[in-house]
Amino acid sequence: MATLIDGKAIAQKVKEEVALGSQKLVAERGEDARPNMTLVLVGSDAVSKRLVDLKAKDCEAAGITPTVIAMSESTSEEKLLRLIDRLNRDDDVKAILCQLPVPDHISTKRLLAAIAPEKDVDGFSARIDSDDYDVAACTPAAVMRMLRESGVDVAGKHCVVVGRSNIVGKPMAIQLLLNDATVTVCHSKTADLAEHTRRADILIVAVGRPRFITGDMVKEGAVVIDVGMNYIEGRPVGDVDFASVEPKASKITPVPGGVGPMTRAYLLVNALTLAERRAK
Ligand code: NDP
């Protein structure tokens, strides 16, 4: 039976670290130095709204001041980009987050590119050519921390990442490389996916298809990290078929209670880092 990697418990520890860091920053540099985060929500998608509410609550608990800006579904790309531009130039705004997905008529690429890197709390603009990952993409940073906290050293291991998105798969592969793993990245055009996943010491799955990875695709004793967050009849389901994979894995993340809460916790880490940088 696999050991569960408890994302909720590790996230709690991370949040406490951020709350202490934020307290220290304010004690040393005054109230003006307090970290803050502006969360932009476009449209009325219930899951996105719930996530923004949770993120704002997380901020409050960690001594980070949240501001939520809700815009209607019909907001034009131009209007949204004007808002981002205003936030970029507002000295009081230290961190900006745009909740994804945005409505189809808005280009996610243009939107994310518009956020100033020094305010990009999601870490989507993190450089890939450096090991100076002070503000890293949240989900990969969260996964690295979960591995460390679980005593898993990636150095020299064969890590297989399924998914190559700009926000999860690619930055995940980079972070693993920066930590001396040997990395294979798979995607929708990969021939014989199971051939690759079966060779993984550490398998990280970010595909967006419920229960996509099954027990026959996993090596005995592998560490399995399920980034996937899909909803079936309103309930969260991962990309990994937990029932068939768990008996083969040595360690595994659950959904819910795995990578999700840790990704949110790493938003707070990034918000603190951005505020600390600003205070310097
Ligand atoms: P994207 O849709 O942007 O990327 C999905 C990736 O999976 C693509 O690279 C795609 O390949 C690949 N893929 C799709 N089908 C297959 C297949 N049949 N075989 C192999 N690879 C395939 O998703 P994201 O990276 O944004 O998110 C992935 C999942 O992680 C989603 O469920 C999302 O909700 C979840 N997520 C969870 C977070 C958390 O905090 N827990 C945070 C962020 C995301 P190709 O490039 O060829 O199209």
How confident is the model over 135-181, as pLDDT tens digits? Answer: 789 999 999 999 999 999 999 999 999 999 999 999 999 999 999 99
* Mean pLDDT to the nearest integer, 105-123: 94
Residue 134 has pLDDT above 70, yes or no: no
Q: 237 C-alpha vs ligand 1 centroid, how far in Å?
A: 14
Exposed/middle/buried for residue 267 (C-beta within 10 Å: 0-12, 13-18, 19+): buried
Query: Taking a C-beta distance cutoff of 8 angstroms, is the pair 90, 48 a contact?
Result: no
Residues shown for the chain:
280
Set 6, 15, 94, 99: catalytic member: 99
**SS3 label, residue 16:** helix
For the CA of 255, the closest atom of ligand 1 is: 41
CATH of 138-259, picked from 3.10.129.10, 3.40.50.720, 3.40.630.30, 2.40.37.10, is 3.40.50.720
Residue 249 has pLDDT above 70, yes or no: yes
- The H or E element that residue 267 is part of is helix 259-279
CATH of 30-118, picked from 3.60.15.10, 3.40.50.150, 3.40.50.10860, 3.40.50.970, is 3.40.50.10860
Query: Taking a C-beta distance cutoff of 8 angstroms, is the pair 121, 84 a contact?
Result: no
pLDDT the model gives residue 182: 98
53 in active site: no
pLDDT the model gives residue 126: 75
Query: Taking a C-beta distance cutoff of 8 angstroms, is the pair 126, 62 a contact?
Result: no
Measured from CB, residues less than 6 Å from any atom of ligand 1 are 139, 162-165, 167-169, 186-190, 193, 206-208, 227-230, 239, 259-260, 263
Q: Do domains 30-118 and 138-259 have the same CATH topology?
A: yes
CA 278 → CA 38, 122, 194, 275, distances in Å? 16, 17, 46, 5
Of the candidate ranges 44-53, 71-80, 88-97, the one whose mean pLDDT is the lowest: 44-53
Query: Taking a C-beta distance cutoff of 8 angstroms, is the pair 51, 122 a contact?
Result: no
280 in active site: no
Set 122, 226, 239, 241: catalytic member: 122
pLDDT the model gives residue 28: 98
Set 6, 15, 55, 241: catalytic member: 55
55 in active site: yes
Residue of 97, 207, 231 to mutate, ligand 1, most atoms within 8 A of C-beta: 207
Local confidence band at 280 (pLDDT 50, 70, 90 cut-offs)? confident
pLDDT the model gives residue 133: 46
Contacts of 142 (CB under 8 A, 6+ apart): 7, 259, 262, 263, 265, 266
Residue-range domain boundaries for the chain: 30-118, 138-259
**Cα–Cα distance between 239 and 123 in angstroms, integer?**
23
Tell me the whole-structure pTM to 2 decimals. Answer: 0.95
